[in-house]
Amino acid sequence: MGMPITHIMTSGMSGIRAAGDLVARMQFARNMRLKDAKEYVAKKLGVSTMDLSDEYVMRELREELGIGVVTSVAGSPKGIAAKMNIEKLLDIKINCCEKFRGKLK
Amino acid sequence: MTEYALRMGDGKRIFLTREQIRADLEAGTADAADLGSIPALTGNELDKLAEILMMPARMVGVEPGKEVPVTHDIGTIRLDGDQGNSGVGIPTSRLAGCMIHERAMGADTMELGHIDYSFKPVKPVIAQEQQAMEVCQQNMIVPLFYGAMPNMGLYYTPDGPFENPGDLMKAFKIAEAQASMEHAADHLTRDMIWIMQKLMFAGADGVNFDTTGAAGDGDMFATLRAVESLRKQYPDMYIEVGMAGELVLGMHGELQYDNTTLAGLWPHQQAPLVAKAGANVFGPVVNTNTSKSSAWNLARAVTFVKAAVKASPIPCHVNMGMGVGGIPMFETPTIDAVSRASKAMVEIAGVDGI
């Protein structure tokens, strides 16, 4: 356990504490290298690339955008609801959201 | 004379002078450059690496703004698994394990995996895996992969249906050994495609092929063909291919992908092939030598990975688990060594992620 935590603390983007999940999505969804993925996400969020790892900037912004926050806020989008908002924000399709929509009558 | 605390490749603390550290750094980068026919690190890069290794703090970090996504292998087994998988034996469900990684640890991506962490044993319990994936996807926000090892060794006797190539080669039945590997590769490709079809149906973001090439060139051959097929079927699927070692072992010796012989490929030669097959992210590996210092191992690993990053048309998330990527070969790698290796890979090798 200590090793992955050390990597996250040393080099990671803090996942949904900040915007690490969004940058990772662009690397996988569009084969973007790190610089391009950060610039793409920063532009969509209207922040600087440095802000993407800044919990102070991202905490409220994530809640405003409904893309999921790390603390459990009652009534805020979580899981697939948050990911549907991420789809719109990043202009990508997410497989489980597609499957979810396909099940609606 | 001032001495600095470093580590051996097995994790033991050692004390080296600045001159000794510099000598080990130069020897490590020279070894990689010689083996891979790639450029050695420059003087400035070696200075930066020495500076990172000699930092007085117990833990170091990348400069603000240089952070990278950290992807995870082994799924939740590091929580609920046993020592064999470096697990800590906390009885959690896989959903709880995934959510702990996302919300307590700040993981940038996560993955779901079977307790054996190989593809083959997933087949009999595929419906269970689909159910677990559906439940996890309903609750998770970060990208959630299905992760497993191709592990072609499970297809040979006594574990599988094909005669063990090791036994055949010992009897000088080389052609028969090669044929056995080809048959195993066919079945492995078929199984990995089938399993991922089921998991994509259940909402997976994609797949992490972990420790690709562990059973040699046949293992990588089977994986590249599976990647190619899955990419055709699922244009938006997330596909990561992480390697097992720095060099593709030529167990078969003559297998080719895209007219390139797989045996003997180094990380900078593996990356373009993985991209050609259709992966989104490549995970290069450089093995740790337990008899050398962390300076030697890190310089060597950074040299190989820097060349792979440069040659790769897709993002590179370097593998930095126990015994790879300049990390000591030890069950509980020390925080000082892990944080220094992590920082060096980001700031000198220029990786897109870890």
The pLDDT assigned to B342 comes to 98
Interatomic CA distance for residues B83 and B288, integer angstroms: 20
- B287, B10 contact by CB (below 8 A): no
pTM above 0.90, yes or no: yes
Report the sign of the C-alpha dihedral through residues B295, B296, B298, B304, in that order.
positive
Nearest to A16, CA basis, from A90, A75, A66, A87 = A66
Contact A95 B205 (CB under 8 A): yes
Contact B70 A20 (CB under 8 A): yes
The pair of three-digit structure tokens given for residue A42, joined into one six-digit string = 């920063």
* Contacts with A, B 52-111, CB within 8 Å: 59-62, 64-72, 78-79, 88, 102-103, 105-109
The pair of three-digit structure tokens given for residue B73, joined into one six-digit string = 């292998």
The pLDDT assigned to B1 comes to 85
The pLDDT assigned to A1 comes to 72
Contacts of B139 in chain A (CB under 8 A): 78-79
The pLDDT assigned to B72 comes to 85
Contact B69 A20 (CB under 8 A): yes
From first to last of the 354 residues of chain B, give the pLDDT tens digit. 899 999 999 999 999 999 999 999 999 999 999 999 999 999 999 999 999 999 999 999 999 999 999 998 888 988 999 888 788 999 999 999 999 999 999 999 999 999 999 999 999 999 999 999 999 999 999 999 999 999 999 999 999 999 999 999 999 999 999 999 999 999 999 999 999 999 999 999 999 999 999 999 999 999 999 999 999 999 999 999 999 999 999 999 999 999 999 999 999 999 999 999 999 999 999 999 999 999 999 999 999 999 999 999 999 999 999 999 999 999 999 999 999 999 999 999 999 999
The pLDDT assigned to B302 comes to 98
Is A50 a residue whose pLDDT tops 90? yes
Contact A11 B343 (CB under 8 A): yes
Within 10 angstroms of residue B172's Cβ, the number of other Cβ atoms is 9
Q: What is the pLDDT of residues A56-105, one digit of tens each?
A: 999 999 999 999 999 999 999 999 999 999 999 999 999 999 999 999 99
- A2, A10, A24 member nearest B109 (Cβ): A24
For residue B223, what are the contacts with CB-CB under 8 A and spacing of at least 6? B150, B188, B189, B192, B209, B212, B213, B241
> Given CB atoms, is A73 within the 8 Å cutoff of chain B?
no
> Given CB atoms, is A76 within the 8 Å cutoff of chain B?
no
Contact A24 B332 (CB under 8 A): no
Residue A6, min C-alpha distance to chain B (Å): 6
**Cβ-count burial B278-299 (b if 16+ within 10 Å, e if not):** bbbbbbbbbbbbeebbbbbbbb
Is A39 a residue whose pLDDT tops 80? yes
> Given CB atoms, is A33 within the 8 Å cutoff of chain B?
yes
Nearest to A19, CA basis, from B141, B182, B259, B302 = B141
> Given CB atoms, is A61 within the 8 Å cutoff of chain B?
no
> Given CB atoms, is A84 within the 8 Å cutoff of chain B?
no
- ipTM at complex level: 0.97
Residue B284, min C-alpha distance to chain A (Å): 15
Q: Which amino acid is at B207?
A: V
The pLDDT assigned to B73 comes to 86
Specify the DSSP class assigned to residue B317: B
- B142, B203, B352 member nearest A16 (Cβ): B142
The pLDDT assigned to B35 comes to 98
